[in-house]
Structure 1
Amino acid sequence: MFGFKEIDIEGLKSAKSQEGVLLIDVRTDAEVARGMIEGAKHIPLHLLPLKANELNAGVPTIFYCQSGARSAQACAFMSSKGHDDVYNLQGGILAWMRDGMPLAAMC
């Protein structure tokens, strides 16, 4: 059992309103070019092992992808590296859009 939790859209909306929560998009460059959740940082899943040391283990971190599968892998990886406060967005950006939430241009 990996040490990450699932978060739903309502939980993400609440978390985004708080200071100090990190939102990471692990999709590919091509997927991100179609839009991302405002405030997210883009780290493609295949680069996460190289960038993991840039993420503060003491900061709550929410990962998302297209549907939630790749971000679950990201959460499992980060929790194996000692990050205890990691969350996987259930349903990914598809759930975000289904909820009528806006996308931002890639930063």
Structure 2
Amino acid sequence: MAIKTISPSEAVELAAQGARLVDIRSPDEFRRTKAVGAESRPLDVIETITGGEPIVFMCKSGMRTSASADRLEGACTGDAYIVDGGLDGWQQAGLPIVTDASQPIEIMRQVQIAAGALILLGVLLGSLTTPVWYGLAAFVGAGLLFAGATGWCGMAKLLAMLPWNRRAAA
């Protein structure tokens, strides 16, 4: 049987009846914002979740859970569900969340901000001064291409070493 997608309000009803709410986002995403009552089980390390109670999975937008539906269903010994719209849908439904603004934004968002700023800077400097600055944009673009192809992001590794990110991981 395929894993069923349910509305955020249906997820709350199931949780009230004993279902477990499992967030599959990365630990840095979970530390910053989470649904009240959710537990962290990152997708990249999730294995069998024991217990016969229903499991309600969520991610940020519902895309990760939908793309991994077979794997998530296989990780459960009981019934499995996916929250439609993920945490975004949960928030739009006005359901309670916990936000810790002292936690840094997720590493991948930091990568997106830094990469976008560097590419824009390279293009602007290349246009206004000398074309050699286009090399900066090309270098960052090549790094993003490599990260997408291999799953290893050098910029994320560098950003993770910055003081605000090391404090959060401790």
Structure with higher RCO (Cα < 8 A, 6+ apart): 1
TM-score range for the pair, normalised by the shorter chain length: 0.7 to 0.9
Q: Distance in 2 between matches of 1:26 and 1:32?
A: 9
Query: What letter corresponds to residue 47 of structure 1 in structure 2?
Result: V
Unaligned runs of 5+ in 2: 101-170
Out of 38, 41, 44, the residue aligned to residue 40 of structure 1 is 38
Q: Normalising by the residue count of structure 2, what TM-score does the alignment of the two structures yield?
A: 0.52
How far off its partner does 1:104 sit?
2.2
Residues 1-107 of structure 1 aligned to structure 2 (within 5 Å)? 3-19=2-18, 21-48=19-46, 52-53=47-48, 55-56=49-50, 58-80=52-74, 83=77, 85-104=79-98
Worse-superposed segment, 74-83 or 90-99: 74-83
Q: 1:83 to 1:3 in 2, by over 3 A?
A: farther
Q: Between the two proteins, what is the percent identity of the paired residues?
A: 26
- When you count helix as a share of all residues, which structure comes out higher? 2
CA RMSD of aligned residues (A): 2.1
Partner SS state of residue 58, structure 1:
coil
How far off its partner does 1:60 sit?
0.6
Unaligned runs of 5+ in 1: none
How many residues end up aligned between the 2 structures?
A: 100
How far off its partner does 1:82 sit?
6.6
